[in-house]
Amino acid sequence: MPNLSNITQTIAIVLVAYQLTGCFADSATSHQDRTDDKAEQQVEQEQEQEQEQEQEQEQEQAEIQIQWQPVTEYLIGSEIAEIDYYQIHLGTRVNYLDQVFVVEDPSQTSYLLKDLAKGDYYISMIAVAKNGERSDLSEPFTFSISQ
């Protein structure tokens, strides 16, 4: 006759082993789920940070609308036959206006300067006649962008 105590012990060991295997499988799955969740959270956080940085950069970049009176005569008093275009000279130092914007429509009397970072700026203008004559640079106008 078979020894029942040995069979009972064997069944108990198999059941415990099965439960442990299931436990490890659940544990591995939940660990993988937690790892996936952490990775997703990290990606979401990185995307949020990128969006915040883009918004900060957009906020740091300013626009300014400038306006002027059309040129009708030179300082010496001679009439200008016809204006061909304007040049807007912009810079962060009064004697180094390194950015030049051309306004090709001579009837236009305003211009939108975009993507200006924080800081002090100087701006001057030149009118250019169709015959090629150029006015002197206007007196610099100073403005500041602070955010």
Per residue in 53-93, pLDDT tens? 666 655 567 888 999 888 766 655 566 568 899 999 999 99
Extract the runs of DSSP E, i.e. beta strands, from 17-118.
Answer: 62-67, 83-91, 99-103, 110-116
Q: Which residue from 92, 80, 86 is spatially nearest to 143, judged by alpha carbons?
A: 92
CA distance 129 to 16: 97
Residue 88: per-residue pLDDT: 95
Write down the pTM of the prediction.
Answer: 0.57
Decide if 134 contacts 122 (C-beta within 8 A): no
How many degrees, rounded to 5, is the angle at CA 109 between CA 142 and CA 82? 115
Element (DSSP H or E) covering residue 119: strand 119-129
